[in-house]
Structure 1
Amino acid sequence: MRLDEAAKTIDEKKVYRVEGFSCANCAGKFENNVKKIPGVHDAKVNFGASKISVYGKPSIEELERAGAFEDLKVAPEKRRQQTIEEVEKGKKDEKVPFHKKHSTLLTSILFLVFGYLSLFVNGEENIVTILLFLASMLIGGLSLFKVGFQNLLRFEFDMRTLMTVAVIGGAIIGEWAEVSVVVILFAISEAMERFSMDRARQSIRSLMDIAPNEALVRRNGKEIMVHVDDIAVGDIMIVKPGQKIAMDGVVVNGYSAVNQAAITGESVPVAKTINNDVFAGTLNEEGLLEVRITKLIEDTTISKIIHLVEEAQGERAPAQAFVDKFAKYYTPIIMVIAALVAVIPPLFFEGSWETWVYQGLAVLVVGCPCALVISTPIAIVSAIGNAAKKGVLVKGGVHLEEMGNLKAIAFDKTGTLTKGVPVVTDYNLLDNQMEEKALLSIITALEYRSQHPLASAIMKKAEGENISYSAVIVEGFSSITGRGIKGTVNGTTYYIGSPKLFKEISVTDFDPDIEEKVRTLQNQGKTAMIIGTEQSVLAVMAVADEVRETSKDVIRKLHQLGIEKTVMLTGDNKGTADAIGGFVEVSDIQAELMPQDKLDYIKQLRSEHGFVAMVGDGVNDAPALAASTVGIAMGGAGTDTAMETADVVLMGDDLRKLPFAVRLSRKALNIIKANIGFAIAIKFIALLLVIPGWLTLWIAILSDMGATLLVALNGLRLMRVKE
């Protein structure tokens, strides 16, 4: 292990909130400055969430000195309260009048207007005209020049260095008016970039705003309002109709419908009664609920969603890694090109120094990589924020991009394509000697005593039809290993089991028709059982894990989106697998698989298709989920394992979110590619104008500003993608 890695393992990671980022370039510079602080072994800025993670023990003063070039404010992260305060601050900022919020920029524009009036009245060389333009430049570009000069002294090259050199050069050759306009347009461009990222970030922060800060808690026989930070596990919280639930917990009294849209994306309220889980941030619509608190505020599902989504914004996607690497070499190259443009024509081709120095300065301005640097993060933050609001948790830009490239998707059967809860699907009485309900009562009494996994389905059916079975006296109950069960009721011995069992006890009326009936049910993907006595067969019953109503439609939509292959993986027998797989219309069915077999099949799929997703419950099939390109877990709400292990989590246990997630990812991937391509192309086209000598400072800054604006607006479109 290297020394810096060893130090990182010793030092605890500390996370700080950062206020004041104006651009991704500045975030990168802040990260590098923090890494240079003595005692800091590593640092990573999360531009999307305005946070920095630091390995080491720097003071707040040291961190703020590292960010002094942009007057950054740093504070330790207090996950929930900090975010709530930011939301409140954001609301206050929105109410600040426009003229107060942008007073510096407006003052600069005012001096520019007076400068042009003086230019028309007094002429370009007049001292009043020059002073007015100079005042406009200094007021509008003070923060720009401050950082630019520092960069020049340290030989650090970023877009502010380029702009500072261009402005100094423009002033030297007497282009006061144009330089003033360039400074103002650059300030407007930065303001738009900041506004765009704030809009994207707000979509995440608004999630935390949905949970109340206080809850009504019963303590020592009294009902009191308690701040969520002071609520303990085991407290009883009282939630009245129309109130939002403040904490995660379990209902101990009451019945109500709860709107869980904020957590799971479900549009229809969910019925909640005793022993049901409820989540912070959801809305109690009807009845009074008493809830026993099961998690502290920092461990609630909504807090984890916020934390994981913010962490996801900091994960650099492949496209962003490319942009970061490209930008590192891009700025110095632009400075060299600008110098060559300014020097070569006058030295070797008798060009005018004034003309070509001007062209060189324009190259510096057009070279500002604002649009390129913001092209990827704004798209990723917008997409991840939109997905979180719809109940899809994407844990990083890399997973967002990979999901956009998916060619094949494998599904675990139980609990994914099916509901994972067995139900009685068929109950056919074959002998008229007994009444249907009376026989069901005996069957349920016998199954109640068995340990068979399907017994719960039979008990549920009896309870649903109000058939009593607990009072039925069963004597001599026993399990017949691998074949069924038996027990005596009112002197008659009843058997429940497979055809093999009834052949063994030689039931007289057991004929091929009954075997064929059982075979037909099994071919439909059901578990069939025969009920009878030693003298006759009384009934045939079938139990099955029901297919989700949405599964077939989801598979169809995925094929329409261009997914080449959909596969169902299951440990079930081939008959059951074929029946369910055929119904939902997956491309391929793999049955009777052990966990190792599923892992091997996922590896095979990856070798054939490259980008492969595995959809499961996040607990079982962990090796297969890990081996896939993107592991997608069902039902993450309240399930810590799913939220921690999967790359993408469908919070509401709703498979219909999957086509939306794939579509959003593909759109994000297309927008990222388009943004990068457009940002580079607009620079290239502007640079070509140097050849005929048509490039001006106006065109240069407008091309940069226009590209930044279009890239930002294009990225923000991802916030509007609907299910």
Structure 2
Amino acid sequence: MAQETYYVKGMSCTSCAKTFENNVKDIESVEDAHVNFGASKITVQGDASIQQLEQAGAFESLSVSKQYEKHSPRRLNTLKSNWHIVASSIFLLIGIYLLVQLGEEHPVTTSAFLASIAVGGYQLLSTGVRHLLRLRFDMKTLMTIAVIGAAIIGEWVEGAVVVILFAISEALERFSIDRARSSIQSLMELAPDTARVRRNNELMELNVSNIQVGDTVIIKPGEKIPVDGMVTKGESTINQAAITGESVPVFKAENEEVFAGTLNEEGYLEVNVQKLAEDSTLAKIIHLVEEAQNEKAPAQQFIDRFAAYYTPLIMVVALGVATVPPVFFGLSFETWVYQGLAVLVVGCPCALVISTPVAIVTAIGSAARNGVLIKGGAYLEALGQVKTIAFDKTGTITQGKPVVQSYQLFDESISPEYFFEKAYTLEALSQHPLAKAITEYANEHVGHGPLSDVTDFQSITGRGVTGEIDRSQFKIGSPSMFDLNSEQQTAVNEARQSGHTVIIMSENERVLGLVSIADAIRPMAQNMIAKLNKLNINRTVLLTGDHEVTAKSISHQVGIKQYLSQLLPKDKQVKVKELQEQHGQIAMVGDGVNDAPALATANVGIAMGGAGTDTALETADIALMGDDLSKLPYTMKLSRKALNIIKQNIVFALTTKALALLLVIPGWLTLWIAILADMGATLLVTLNALRLLKLKD
């Protein structure tokens, strides 16, 4: 069966989304359907037209489109879309005036209230009656029974007020949910719709969906980059904040990668297209965020199970309130039927059901806008409970690249320029990463003269290289290749105590000096660990394949409390399991490539640099899109705040319902109080969740 995905406008509650999904499934030509409430999308398996889908969503005036439509700035729903609320309110005021003038029983008075209920509650009542006939008990079913019951017992004013307040509640709720979805919608609006493309020496304006791999795209200063690609001409600073969360623009030149949705700030660029628009990093982020927002956290799964029993229970309680006092205790039938109807209204599960998903949608969308991809509510919730974080060393705490830290000359007769000129000449012939560190340092800091010819060059595996330069025999490599005196050996030991790898060079067996090389620690690593400590992360652990001296040194410099050294990738996985047994839930931070087994084993796997690697996006539960460790404390704060808000919302929703229901005992519960309690609870849990939008990196 064919499968199509459509964007839906107007879904404001999870129960309405479920109703829409069921209605679509009822279409004869549809095999299956699945609504993603967070992303406001529906995936349909089978054959259905947009008209059929909109008919299925007519109960909430849903509109359906194949392509995402960019929105104008969000504002509270306009007068045009809420005319029924205004008209219903006018009829209510007329009815109240006639009530005073003509009396409650006059047909004209009743007609005014009936018009108010019909105009304001047409969609509510038509949907509720249809669900009642199908024995589907949701929020609108309960409201419909309450309004019809109020009309039957002659409570016209309160029936009309319930309809109007419910309509206002839905309008405000729809606005609030749109705000919660605003983060992902802003991502979808990042990339331009069209681009200038040079194809076959011809310049043309194309829709981004028609751009092919291998095309050349022209980007002028101030324009957004439409596709992922490689710069082939020009250079510029690129604002990548939308993708990686980096606050500082990044300089890009030829043969460097750029991403769709980023902003070209000042230079002219020509970019060779590497990926189709639907395969770009931005497209992958949007897809993963949409899926993540629909992924239910354990708290939401509990609420869904609870609501399945809660709604029928409310129906039974309302029936009991309406019948038991008049039947068994001879009390007023009209009074207690009214109380039963109020119980139905106040018992609506809307606030409870929406309390968790609105927080998850907001948190995941907000994180994505700040360069952090959280792949589901379960991971968001799990991270908030983590007290132990394990870090890979290479490429995570360190930059993953050997860099010269210092050097020391043992022969005063030679200059640094002479030392590094000979070192450069030899190491330029080697492919070893340490050799590259020396040649780069010589280029950047000391300089070197014209390269001399090297004869009798020899590479000694695992130790170093030798060769003859200007009739002198030079050796450069591990200290084990040389006979060192006590002073030289002390210098080597001191460098090693700092976690550095030592390289020594000699000329004709005369030791000239040493170079200390280390994988440079990321500048933000120490600050990141300090912030985690303030967040009461009780234990931080460094996992590395390096020897103990290096692991100890780096842990001490950064502030990590524990280190485990000389670990192979498979050993890291074992250590993660041991840490779980000792300390409970743990998070693992790595580069997403050789750390994949450990990342998968941890309760929450966090990958660095997701924007550049598909592996990180696929293997990790959370991806820091930029190579920025400072995003980790922000993500921890966001997850904990989201977890607290979910708990607050659940407690608040249940407490509000319980307090309102207690008013039944003295007979004080009215339809007015019931609808205000339900509406207030729904709006407050939504607004509480929207506080997550204010949390900044």
Q: TM-score, normalised by structure 2?
A: 0.96
Task: Please give the alpha-carbon distance, in whole angstroms, between the structure 1 residues aligned to 2:56 and 2:79.
Answer: 30
**Does the 8 Å contact 1:444/1:469 carry over to 2?**
no
- Could you tell me which residue of structure 2 aligns to residue 51 of structure 1? 41
> What is aligned with 1:91?
72
What amino acid is the match of 1:24?
T
> Cα 1:384–1:255, aligned 2, differ >3 Å: closer, same or farther?
same
Write the distance in 2 (CA, Å) between the matches of 1:50 and 1:223.
37
1:184-217 deviations in Å (ceiling 9; x for gaps): 1011111111111111112211112222222222
Do structure 1's residue 405 and structure 2's residue 395 form an aligned pair? no
Worse overlay, 517-526 or 62-71: 62-71
The alignment status of 1:559 with 2:533, answered yes or no, reads yes
Q: CA deviation at 1:447?
A: 1.1
Q: Give the alignment partner of residue 22 of structure 1, picking from 12, 16, 33.
A: 12
Partners of 1:38 and 1:173 lie apart in 2 by: 40
1:100–1:39 CA distance, 2 compared to 1 (3 A): closer
In the TM superposition, residue 605 of structure 1 has moved relative to its aligned partner by 1.6
Is the counterpart of residue 516 in structure 1 residue 490 in structure 2? Answer: yes
TM-superposed deviation, 1:91:
0.9
Letter of the structure 2 residue corresponding to residue 541 of structure 1? V
Q: Which amino acid counterpart does residue 629 of structure 1 have in structure 2? A: N
- Which residue type is aligned with residue 306 of structure 1? I
Residue of structure 2 aligned with 1:251, choices 206, 231, 246: 231
Aligned equivalent of 2:330, options 350, 375, 385: 350
The yes-or-no answer on 1:585 pairing with 2:559 is yes
Alpha carbons of 1:224 and 1:95: their partners in 2 closer, same or farther (altered >3 Å)? Answer: farther
Residue of structure 1 in register with 2:129 after alignment: 149
Any residues of structure 2 matched to 1:625-644 within 5 Å, and which? 625-644=599-618
The alpha carbon displacement at 1:652 in A equals 1.1
The one-letter code matched in structure 1 to 2:296 is: R
Query: Does the 8 A contact of 1:393 with 1:649 survive in 2?
Result: yes
| Cα distance change of structure 1 residues 55 and 95 upon mapping to structure 2, 3 Å threshold | closer
Native 8 Å contact 2:410 2:488 kept in 1: no
Matched, 1:673 2:647: yes
After superposition, give the CA deviation of every residue in 1:163-196 in whole Å (9 maximum; x if it has no partner). Answer: 1111111111100001100111011111111111
In structure 2, the residue matched to 1:708 is 682
Residue deviations 1:622-641 (CA, integer Å, cap 9, x gap): 11000011111101113211
Answer whether contact 1:250 1:274 (CA < 8 A) is retained: yes
Q: Residues 50-449 of structure 1: matches in 2 within 5 Å?
A: 50-56=40-46, 63-64=53-54, 66-76=56-66, 82-83=67-68, 85=69, 87=70, 90-91=71-72, 94=75, 98-449=78-429
Residue pair 1:252, 1:291 contacting (<8 A) in 2 also: yes
Task: Count residues with an aligned counterpart.
Answer: 697
Residue 42 of structure 1: how far off its partner (Å): 5.0
Residue 33 of structure 1 deviates from its aligned partner by: 4.0
Query: Amino acid of the residue matched to residue 603 of structure 1?
Result: K
Q: Distance in 1 between matches of 2:54 and 2:161?
A: 31
**CA–CA separation in structure 2 for the residues paired with 1:469 and 1:113:** 94
Q: By how many angstroms is 1:654 displaced?
A: 0.4
- For residue 371 of structure 1, report the CA deviation from its aligned partner: 0.8
How far residue 645 of structure 1 moved from its aligned partner, in angstroms, is: 1.8
How far does residue 59 in structure 1 lie from its aligned partner after superposition? 5.7
CA distances 1:420-472 after superposition (whole Å, capped 9, x unpaired): 12111112121133332122122112112112121221121122137346732
Partners of 1:668 and 1:475 lie apart in 2 by 66
SS in 2 for 1:101: coil
TM-aligned CA distance change 1:32 to 1:355, over 3 Å: same
CA-to-aligned-CA distance 1:24-43 (integer Å, 9 cap, x gap)? 10112233344555676654
The whole-number CA distance in structure 1 between the counterparts of 2:299 and 2:509 is: 73
Letter of the 2:11 counterpart: F
Aligned residues of 1:675 and 1:714 also touching (Cα < 8 A): yes
* Separation of aligned partners in 2, 1:13 and 1:624: 36
Residue type of the alignment partner of 2:103: G
| 1:615–1:625 contact (8 Å) kept in structure 2 | yes
Q: Do 1:410 and 1:614's aligned partners in 2 also have CA atoms closer than 8 Å?
A: yes
Secondary structure (helix, strand or coil) at the match of 1:257 reads strand
CA distance in 2, matches of 1:595, 1:470: 43
Root-mean-square deviation (CA, aligned residues, Å) is: 1.9
Instruction: Give the aligned residue type for 2:491.
Output: K
Instruction: Look up the equivalent residue of 1:489 and give its one-letter code.
Output: I
Measure, in 1, the Cα distance between the counterparts of 2:622 and 2:696.
Answer: 18
- Mapped partners of 1:108, 1:469: distance in 2: 89
2:128 maps to a residue whose letter is: G
Shift of 1:53: 3.1
Task: Mark the CA change 1:242 to 1:421 in structure 2 (over 3 Å): closer, same or farther.
Answer: same
Tell me the equivalent position of 2:479. Answer: 499
Distance 1:287 1:625, change over 3 A: same
Please say if residues 526 and 542 of structure 1, whose CA atoms lie closer than 8 Å, have aligned partners that are also in contact: yes
Determine the structure 2 residue equivalent to 1:623: 597
Q: Match of 1:664, SS?
A: helix
**Deviates most, 465-474 or 278-287:** 465-474
Q: Distance in 1 between matches of 2:655 and 2:454?
A: 82
- Matched residues in 1 for 2:249 and 2:441: separation? 25
Whether the aligned pair in 2 keeps the contact of 1:442 and 1:469 (CA below 8 Å) is no
SS at match of 1:218: strand
The one-letter amino acid paired with 2:40 is: S
Q: Distance in 1 between matches of 2:46 and 2:620?
A: 29
Counterparts of 1:61 and 1:719, CA distance in 2 = 35
Q: Report if aligned partners of 2:59, 2:124 keep a CA contact under 8 Å in 1.
A: no
Q: 1:534 aligns to what?
A: 508
Q: Percent identity?
A: 57
Letter matched to residue 16 of structure 1:
Y
* 1:39–1:58 CA contact under 8 A, matched in 2: yes
- Structure 2: distance between partners of 1:591 and 1:613: 18
Kept in 1, the 8 Å contact 2:7–2:64? The answer is yes
Asked if the contact 1:313–1:380 (Cα under 8 Å) also holds between the matched residues in 2, the reply is yes
Which secondary structure state, in structure 2, belongs to the residue aligned with residue 454 of structure 1?
helix
User: How far apart, in 2, do the equivalents of 1:215 and 1:202 lie?
Assistant: 25
Whole-Å separation in 2 of the counterparts to 1:68 and 1:101? 14
Aligned to 2:521: 547
Alpha-carbon spacing, 1:385–1:65, altered in 2? closer, same or farther (3 Å): same
Cα separation, 1, equivalents of 2:553 and 2:479: 21
- Check whether the contact 1:445–1:470 (CA below 8 A) recurs between aligned residues: no
CA distance in 1, matches of 2:618, 2:688: 31
Partner-residue secondary structure (3-state), 2:275: coil
From the superposition, tell whether residues 63 and 99 of structure 1 become closer, same or farther in structure 2 (CA, over 3 Å).
closer
Name the SS for the 1:99 alignment partner.
coil
Query: How far apart are the structure 1 equivalents of 2:205 and 2:422?
Result: 52
Which amino acid in the other structure matches residue 110 of structure 1? I
Supply the AA of the counterpart residue of 2:37: F
Structure 1 SS opposite 2:356 = helix
CA distance in 2, matches of 1:470, 1:43: 71
Q: Does 1:614 align with 2:588?
A: yes
Any unmatched runs of 5+ in structure 1? 1-10, 77-81, 504-509
How do residues 561-576 of structure 1 correspond to structure 2 at under 5 angstroms?
A: 561-576=535-550
